[in-house]
Amino acid sequence: MVQPPPRTALTGPALVRLLARIGETDVQASPQPLADRLSHWLGWTDAIALSTVLSAPAPAVGGPAGTPARSDGEDEAQRCLSLRSALAKAIVTDGVLAPPRPSTRDARHARGQQAQEVPEMPADYAVFRQCYLALQQKMEADIGDLRTRLRNRLAAQSSAMAKLAALDALMERSLAVRERTLLGAVPGLLGKYFERLRKAAQASEAQAEAETEAPTNSNSGAWLTTFRKDMQSLLLAELDVRFQPVEGLLAALRAR
């Protein structure tokens, strides 16, 4: 069975650790504080907009009677949980990443005979790339809608919370391009990993054939299984990263 490259000793978010391993990159933690690193992602127009939001007085909030619409956030917490579960399920059960397995009855078919394996799809990375991009787009759209909804609820709580909602909206707009660029590079990194695994499997098969002087029939299953599992892990780790702003807004909404 093809073994994935050894893990690095890097600590940090799961997405960073997985990308370092798959990319065979020795990543070191940055000595710069987070605020300094984040400043490099903001242009001068973003900096002006950020300063304006921070220095502006908190907007007035209240219903017809001038009373803020308070909420404990439990309904939104359930909504967040449902969406996260749905997106995780979409990743885990995707047909490209989790092909159907033979049923128990099929596995026991004909005593003394091996159950027939489910045919592997062609080892074409284009199929996996399209799958990754589609799931990325779904996460971005669904989480973006939820984030907007949480900001609207937060803005109705108090003047301070309304200011926080405005700040989050600004940061989302300012960082969107950089975020798409960075996360959009993941499929390219996965493509290189796919080719490394395939070439390693081919070399292993060639060596086995030379030693046994007989053709082998590995059906490419082992390395594709490794690749699928790592691709799923990357998508789930990306889901965690994309949900972090949502978790922050939800925590603010539930704060008393």
Residue 218, CB-side half-sphere exposure with 13 Å CA sphere: 19
Arithmetic mean of pLDDT, 229-238 = 96
The pair of structure tokens assigned to 78 is 């359930």
Arithmetic mean of pLDDT, 207-219 = 62
189 pLDDT exceeds 80? yes
Arithmetic mean of pLDDT, 127-150 = 96
The DSSP annotation for 96-128 comes to TTSPPPPPHHHHT-STTSPPPPPPPPP--HHHH
- What's the mean per-residue pLDDT of the chain? 80
68 or 134: whose pLDDT is higher? 134
pLDDT at 53: 81
For the beta carbon of residue 192, count every other beta carbon within 10 angstroms: 13
pLDDT at 48: 82
174 or 57: whose pLDDT is higher? 174
Angle in degrees, 0-180, between the axes of helices 44-55 and 159-184, rounded to the nearest 10: 160
Arithmetic mean of pLDDT, 11-32 = 80
Going from N- to C-terminal start, the domains of the chain cover 14-58+73-100+116-254
66 pLDDT exceeds 70? no
Residue 92, CB-side half-sphere exposure with 13 Å CA sphere: 8
Per-residue pLDDT reduced to its tens digit, 192-201: 999 999 999 8
* Whether 240 contacts 13, CB under 8 Å: yes
68 pLDDT exceeds 60? no
Nearest residue to 16 (alpha-carbon basis) of 2, 5, 6, 26: 26
Per-residue pLDDT reduced to its tens digit, 79-99: 999 999 999 999 999 999 986
* Whether 218 contacts 84, CB under 8 Å: no
Percent of the chain with pLDDT over 70: 74
pLDDT at 145: 96
Q: Residue 115 — very low, low, confident or very high, per pLDDT cuts 50/70/90?
A: very low
- This prediction has a pTM of 0.79
Q: Residue 116 — very low, low, confident or very high, per pLDDT cuts 50/70/90?
A: very low
For the beta carbon of residue 42, count every other beta carbon within 10 angstroms: 16
130 pLDDT exceeds 80? yes
Per mean pLDDT, which of 2-6, 83-87, 108-112, 215-219 is the most reliable? 83-87
**Quick check: helix, strand or coil at residue 102?**
coil
pLDDT at 186: 95
Per-residue pLDDT reduced to its tens digit, 147-181: 999 999 999 888 889 999 999 999 999 889 899 99
The DSSP annotation for 9-32 comes to ---S-HHHHHHHHHTT------SS
